[in-house]
Amino acid sequence: MQQASLNLVRAIARTAKNKLRLLFTLCIVLFALQHSSRAQWSKLEGRFTNYDVLDGLSDRGCNVAVEGKDSFIWIGTNEGLNRFDGEHFKHYFYDENDSSSIIGNIVIDLQAVDSGLWVATTNSLCFYNHYLDNFERFSFDHFAENGKMGHIKNIFPDGTGKLFLGFFKTKVNTGGLLVFDPKTKTANNLPSTFKMKKHICFQH
């Protein structure tokens, strides 16, 4: 009995000792990782360049940025669309007298495709053709119950060439979800309850 108790005490002591060793080892590892992270971050700090309106950006309020198939960086802001080539910015603004200009200045979402860029704004959707350097506008207000669909919150490509367009709902805007076919330039209104495979929809 005494021998068994002694063996139990020794086992507990060994376990406690091993735990202390493990704890000490973990502390060393965590310290090393923290030091390494700081060192890596200090190396990366010099690799970032900040751009502002003084550098040519049209507005500080940047909502979305993507790399286009044309290798430009496209930035959607609260005051126009920006194209960045690594050195200079080119701006695209809404012009009510030019139907080939962007459909709205507040750019919410972007989707790059081979021939250009889908641009979602607070007014509606448009497509930028990088061969022609102009925009084609699309309106979906005929789907609205009160004459106005509202601005597009998100563009979701479905993998077959079609686009799911999520419209933001407000007190004055209908909102909802449309599926748009760029080939036929037609859209269908999706009901509030439907089944989709490999897609997740969020309602805010």
Q: What is the pLDDT of residues 122-177, one digit of tens each?
A: 888 999 999 999 999 998 877 766 666 667 888 888 888 888 888 776 655 556 78
Kindly state whether residues 179 and 93 are assigned to the same domain.
Answer: yes
Number of domains comprising the chain: 2
Kindly state whether residues 7 and 65 are assigned to the same domain.
Answer: no
Residue 200 within a domain: no
| pLDDT, mean over the chain | 75
Model-wide pTM > 0.75:
no
pLDDT category of residue 65 using cuts at 50, 70 and 90: very high
Taking only the tens place, the pLDDT of each residue in 20-29 is 555 555 555 4
pLDDT category of residue 77 using cuts at 50, 70 and 90: very high
Residue 7 within a domain: yes
CB 96 within 8 A of CB 82: no
- Cβ-in-10-Å burial (0-12, 13-18, 19+) of 171 comes to exposed
Kindly state whether residues 39 and 65 are assigned to the same domain.
Answer: no
Residue 103 within a domain: yes
Kindly state whether residues 62 and 157 are assigned to the same domain.
Answer: yes
Kindly state whether residues 31 and 69 are assigned to the same domain.
Answer: no
Give the strands of the sheet with 176-181, arranged side by side: 152-157, 163-167, 176-181, 186-189
Expressed as residue numbers, the domain containing 28 is 1-48
- What span, in angstroms and rounded, lies between the C-alpha atoms of 107 and 35? 41
